[in-house]
């Protein structure tokens, strides 16, 4: 079924395997980034929330990609995830949820 997301012709229900794979890649990338950070000790709840965070980030990547090739491109994954994270932070601040 083409046009899984309204107005986008490349997305389909047949992308499920690619989407699950992308979620696993996002989880692995976030875990590696956390281990490499200067503050590697994360609270247990951070690791418990990781799969849900990865699913939400993957969904944003999927919906915003202009093509399947762009969506599955692992070479640009880190950069695209940083852009998604920045968007989340901006929305968080704009909605008045900052800790200031």
Domain ranges of the chain: 13-94
Burial class (CB in 10 A: 0-12, 13-18, 19+), 61: buried
What is the per-residue pLDDT across 21-49, written as a single tens digit (0 to 9) for each? 999 999 999 888 877 776 667 676 778 88
Query: What's the CA gap between 68 and 26, in Å, rounded?
Result: 17
Q: What letter does residue 5 receive in the DSSP assignment?
A: S
Per-residue pLDDT band at 69 (split at 50, 70, 90): very high
Question: Is the pTM for the entire model greater than 0.85?
Answer: no
Burial class (CB in 10 A: 0-12, 13-18, 19+), 17: exposed
Question: What are the beta bridge partners of residue 2?
Answer: 12
């Amino acid at each position: 079924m083409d046009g899984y997301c309204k107005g986008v012709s490349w997305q389909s229900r047949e992308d499920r395997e690619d989407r699950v794979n992308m979620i696993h890649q996002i989880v692995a990338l976030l875990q590696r980034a956390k281990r490499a950070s200067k503050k590697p000790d994360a609270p247990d709840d951070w690791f418990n929330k990781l799969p849900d965070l990865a699913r939400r980030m993957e969904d944003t990547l999927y919906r915003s990609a202009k093509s399947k090739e762009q969506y599955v491109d692992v070479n640009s994954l880190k950069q695209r995830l940083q852009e998604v994270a920045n968007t989340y932070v901006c929305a968080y601040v704009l909605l008045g949820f900052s800790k200031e």
